[in-house]
């Protein structure tokens, strides 16, 4: 009895030694609010499906289609299916296995008198095996698989959020490029009219060849920007088509119509929450934490190899020398037993595997820490970019209006002979630049708002 008690105490001590290392959550010191929090933001949770606030039906359709057909999203869903299947496998490992076996054979061997004899042997029965999880190997694999499922679910949510933000960003860039192209073509028309006017004045002896060449140079410079804008526009269309799971040219007709960027004044930033809430909400942080938990569990599984594996099993069936005898009471047979397997001398193999598992666990933990810091950095940067892009767009809007008035004045002064054509060229060049910068800044303002909601993980969930 004393020997049995000592054995049980040793097994309990070994089992305690085989437990997985404890996962320490990374919790940096955080302020109550974001450093770059806009004045109009509230403390509530960010809205889900933020893109609907732009009131653009075409954008809504593109994102809905992308969430259904995007290949990256389907890959993330397939990875989640694999993780769930592995979770079911780990759960099943805790249960016994039951198999059915049947056999038939001809056996030649010496009988009791030492004479060679050939006979037939038939068998049928059930085999049962069950591993006793005394040292946490199976439960560790179960915890690792469960954490893998959580990581897969969070990874799918992260992919959905990133996809919605990517579609919205490319859509706004497409509309911005359309505006830049419209500005360039409108400027070309104005500059062509100016060139005709200068040439006519030169023919009438009231202008110079210098004015004509300057006007022609400005015209060609503006015309040179058109192919680059057209190329960028095509690339945006192709990107949106592929994001929605279609061939690159599938959306050419649908997106060829020129539409303006949505007005951002009607899209309120709304709630942004607190930094602590952000870390709870971000799916990439959730995935990194689950991956760290899985790695810690696998480190415990590696430690369990230091200890024996005990398997209980047996067979219940029938053995007979004639097929017709199967079923007779005399043919029934069984065996029950236990098997212990323990690597006593492996020249450091197991310890090396444990050291590798511990290192992988440390890597996963550091990756989790990096993801947390990256999430905070991305959010602060997105908030800073959002507020400043709004200010920049307003300044460039005022600058474009002033440049337009200056161009009108320059044309009028040139028309009455008060100033030379160089002033008109400078004013036209500045007007084109101001309108182009305004279109770019309006695009940046729209995409910066998308970046804020992506960083806040406010794009998916309801």
Tell me, what's the pLDDT at 327? 65
pLDDT of residue 86: 92
Confidence tier at 284 by pLDDT (50, 70, 90): very high
Cβ atoms of residues 91 and 178 within 8 Å? no
The yes-or-no answer to whether 22-94+135-306+349-455 and 97-132+308-341 have a common fold is no
**Which residue did the predictor score with more confidence, 448 or 458?**
448
> What's the mean pLDDT in 458-462?
46
263 pLDDT more than 80: no
In the predicted structure, residue 228 carries a pLDDT above the cut 90: yes
Q: How far is CA 103 from the centre of its chain?
A: 52
| pLDDT in the model for residue 326 | 66
Q: What is the pTM of this model?
A: 0.82
Mean pLDDT lowest among 156-165, 241-250, 384-393, 453-462: 453-462
Report whether pLDDT(85) > 80: yes
> From residue 260, how far is each of 171, 305, 425, 435 by CA, in Å?
11, 65, 28, 14
Name which of 129-143, 148-162, 287-301, 406-420 the model is least confident about: 406-420
Give the per-residue pLDDT at 234. Answer: 96
pLDDT of residue 16: 44
Residue 119 pLDDT grade (very low, low, confident, very high; cuts 50, 70, 90): confident
pLDDT in tens, 17-66: 445 667 777 888 888 888 888 877 766 777 778 888 888 899 999 999 99
> Is the pLDDT assigned to residue 288 strictly greater than 80?
yes
Q: Which two tokens stand for residue 52?
A: 């609907």
Q: What percent of the chain has pLDDT over 70?
A: 90
Distance set, CA 148 to CA 84, 142, 361, 461 (Å): 8, 10, 14, 21
| Domain regions of the chain by residue span | 22-94+135-306+349-455, 97-132+308-341
The pLDDT, as a whole number, for residue 20 is 62
CATH class of 97-132+308-341: mainly beta
pLDDT at 453: 87
Instruction: Using a pLDDT cut of 90, give the percent of the chain over it.
Output: 38
> Distance (Å, rounded) from C-alpha 430 to C-alpha 369?
48
- For 179-208, write each residue's pLDDT tens digit: 999 999 988 888 888 888 888 878 877 778
Q: What is the pLDDT of residue 61?
A: 95
331-369: pLDDT as tens digits? 677 788 888 888 888 888 989 999 999 999 999 999 999
CATH class of 22-94+135-306+349-455: mainly alpha
pLDDT at position 148 is 94
Q: Is the pLDDT of residue 11 over 70?
A: no
């Amino acid at each position: 009895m004393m020997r049995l008690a000592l054995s049980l105490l040793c097994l309990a001590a070994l089992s305690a030694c085989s437990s997985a290392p404890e996962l320490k959550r990374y919790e940096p010191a955080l302020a109550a609010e974001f450093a770059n929090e806009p004045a109009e933001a509230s403390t509530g949770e960010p809205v889900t499906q933020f893109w609907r606030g732009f009131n653009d039906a075409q954008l809504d359709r593109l994102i809905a289609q992308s969430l259904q057909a995007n290949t990256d999203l389907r890959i993330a869903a397939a990875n989640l299916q694999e993780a769930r299947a592995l979770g079911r496998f780990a759960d099943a490992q805790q249960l016994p296995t039951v198999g059915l076996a049947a056999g038939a054979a001809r056996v030649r061997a010496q009988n009791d008198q030492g004479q060679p004899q050939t006979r037939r042997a038939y068998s049928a029965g059930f085999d049962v095996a069950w591993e006793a999880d005394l040292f946490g190997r199976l439960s560790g694999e179960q915890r690792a698989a469960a954490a893998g499922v959580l990581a897969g679910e969070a990874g799918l949510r992260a992919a959905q959020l990133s996809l919605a933000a990517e579609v919205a960003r490319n859509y706004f860039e497409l509309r911005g490029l359309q505006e830049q192209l419209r500005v360039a073509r409108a400027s070309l028309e104005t500059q062509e009219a100016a060139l005709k006017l200068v040439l006519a004045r030169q023919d009438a002896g009231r202008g110079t060849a210098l004015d004509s060449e300057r006007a022609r140079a400005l015209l060609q410079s503006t015309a040179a920007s058109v192919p680059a804008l057209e190329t960028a526009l095509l690339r945006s269309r192709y990107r949106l088509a592929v994001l929605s799971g279609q061939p690159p040219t599938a959306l050419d007709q649908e997106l060829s119509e020129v539409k303006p960027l949505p007005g951002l004044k009607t899209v309120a930033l709304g709630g942004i929450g607190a930094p602590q809430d952000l870390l709870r909400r971000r799916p990439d942080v959730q995935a990194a934490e689950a991956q760290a938990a899985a790695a810690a569990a696998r480190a415990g599984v590696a430690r369990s190899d230091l200890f024996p594996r005990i398997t209980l099993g047996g067979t219940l069936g029938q053995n007979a020398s004639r097929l017709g005898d199967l079923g007779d009471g005399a043919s029934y047979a069984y065996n029950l037993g236990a098997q212990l397997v323990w690597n006593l001398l492996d020249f450091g193999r197991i310890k090396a595997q444990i050291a590798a598992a511990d290192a992988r666990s440390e890597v996963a933990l550091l990756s989790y820490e990096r993801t947390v810091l990256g999430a905070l950095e991305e959010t602060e940067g997105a908030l800073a970019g959002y507020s400043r892009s709004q200010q920049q767009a307003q300044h460039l809007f005022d600058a474009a209006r002033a440049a337009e008035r200056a161009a009108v004045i320059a044309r009028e002064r040139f028309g009455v002979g008060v100033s030379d054509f160089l002033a008109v060229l400078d004013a036209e060049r500045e007007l084109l630049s101001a309108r182009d910068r305004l279109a770019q800044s309006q695009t940046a303002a729209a995409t910066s708002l998308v970046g804020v909601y992506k960083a806040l993980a406010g794009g998916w969930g309801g």
